[in-house]
Amino acid sequence: MKKIARRTLTIVLIAGMIAAALPMAAMGGVELSEDTDTATQSLTSDTPEYQEEEYSEEEGFPEDGYYEEAVEEGETYGMARSVFHEDQAKGNGRCKIDSSEAHLGYVGVAATESSRLKFQVIKGSSTYNYDMPNDGTPVFFPLQSGNGSYTLRVMKNITGTKYSVAYSTSCKVTLEDEFQPFIRPNNYVNYHEYSECVQKAAQLRAESADDLEFVTKVYKLICKTVRYDRQKAKTVHSGYLPVPDETLSTGKGICFDYASLAASMLRSQGIPTKVIFGYVSPKGAYHAWNMFYTEQTGWITVNYEVSGDWTRMDLTYSANGKHPDFIGDGDNYADVYCY
């Protein structure tokens, strides 16, 4: 990551509020209940209180094409990828877990079963549970709990809402650096080099002088073009996963969509970005937002300053309008899970 000059930006926010999407609940044991482990289990029907504003049209997106073409006039930033190495995966014939690149902050999983499946990532007292496909499609999950020993389990539905272990393995993780889980795609931040959102991000990166200017361009683009989808918040189903390109093209989404789109665009250009789920006071809404990292100092996001550290960025509130006094210095945010 490049060292960039000190710069201060002021971001003007308008007023409003959003609903929340709850991520995987942490659980122990080998049996899982359906209603305690999905990203949207506690999605509410609360909707933002909008102040409608007029927004100018953003410049058109690049024509469909290759990632390299989108940045041909600027510096090319190598995109960190997630790859499933079937020849290095461990398994039992029906379930395969590839931890060969655990040092890069992720694992790949593929399983073929007739029953519903979930994937469990355990490190010490921290447990993350995820839905996963049962048709053999490889999917990727972050190792976001840092260095140490992990237990990895494919969980198979056995009866009703109960799950048992279909396959389990372990791995010891020593990350190349702390950013590895947050610079590449996974099940929650799903993109590839030919994604429309990545092409747009590459265009913005090529037009930016440094990391800070690029982050600002992504921030402004999403605030201008994506509005909160009240109907989706009321009807979204358990196990929902965002499609960043769909959010970008439709210009609509819930907090999870905002956070996933922002992370996809920033990660694809080398900016470490987390998707965070947690509670926001004073109403205790369960919510999704981002944190990003740059090496610079003096960044102002929302209405408070963070120097040389992970910085909170709440695009849902910013795009749909929550007064900066609500967000304040960040003390009313309680981080629970990160992806």
User: Helix/strand/coil (H, E, C) string of the chain?
Assistant: CCCCCCCCCCCCCCCCCCCCCCCCCCCCCCCCCHHHCCCCCCCCCCCCCCCCCCCCCCCCCCCCCCHHHHCCCCCCCCCCCCCCCHHHCEECCCEEEECCCHHHCEEEEEEECCCCEEEEEEECCEEEEEEECCECCCEEEECCCCCEEEEEEEEEEEECCEEEEEEEEEEEECCCCCCHHHCCCCCCCCCCCCCHHHHHHHHHHHCCCCHHHHHHHHHHHHHHHCEECHHHHHHCCCCCCCCHHHHHHHCEECHHHHHHHHHHHHHHCCCCEEEEEEEECCCCEEEEEEEECCCCCCEEECCEEECCCCEEECHHHHHHCCCHHHHCCCCCEEEEEEC
Q: Is the pTM of this model over 0.85?
A: no
pLDDT in tens, 162-174: 999 999 999 999 9
Q: What is the CATH number of the domain that holds 278?
A: 3.10.620
Same domain (yes/no): 194, 262:
yes
pLDDT at 160: 87
Same domain (yes/no): 90, 67:
no
Q: What is the CATH number of the domain that holds 143?
A: 2.60.40.10
Structural domain includes residue 288: yes
Same domain (yes/no): 206, 73:
yes
pLDDT along the chain (339 residues), means of 10: 36 27 38 48 41 34 32 53 96 96 98 96 95 97 97 94 94 96 96 95 94 88 90 85 96 93 96 87 74 61 42 63 49 76
Structural domain for 199, as ranges: 38-78+186-338
Asked which of 119, 151, 176 is the last residue of a domain, the reply is: 176
pLDDT at 13: 24
Same domain (yes/no): 304, 219:
yes
pLDDT at 315: 66
Structural domain includes residue 48: yes
Structural domain includes residue 129: yes
Same domain (yes/no): 151, 109:
yes
Structural domain includes residue 239: yes
